[in-house]
Amino acid sequence: MIKGFKDFLMRGNVVDLAVAVVIATAFGKVIDAFVTVIMDIVGKLGGQPNFSGWVPGGIHVGDLLTTLISFLIIAAAVYFIVVVPLNKLAEARAKGIEAPTDAPSEEVALLTEIRDSLRARG
């Protein structure tokens, strides 16, 4: 019974899901901070970053407006930070172009050159 539970936990999709949840939680905190910054800028321009107190004609639309602005900021951040780069990577892979890799450091290049010359000698 314990072995079956261990096998279930160690399957790739469960581990991948756990990693995705952790990354999403961390990314959510980054996005929340970004929304706070943008809402502060909106507040500087419009007088206040929270529109909850806005009640035109006795209808409480301020909360809805604040939530809509937050949603648009979050959607834009996710689109430009996650979706656009992943789409460009997918297009490059479809064309057969691999993502650029970092060139080896000078030390690695020198060591490779030394290794090759030693092989050529003997």
80-104 pLDDT tens trace: 888 898 889 888 888 876 655 677 7
pLDDT value for 3: 82
Q: How far apart are CA 51 and CA 68, in angstroms?
A: 11
pLDDT value for 99: 56
Sign, CA torsion 37/38/39/42: positive
Q: How far apart are CA 16 and CA 24, in angstroms?
A: 12
pLDDT value for 27: 84
What are the boundaries of each domain within the chain?
A: 2-121
Q: Is the pTM of this model over 0.85?
A: no
pLDDT value for 60: 84
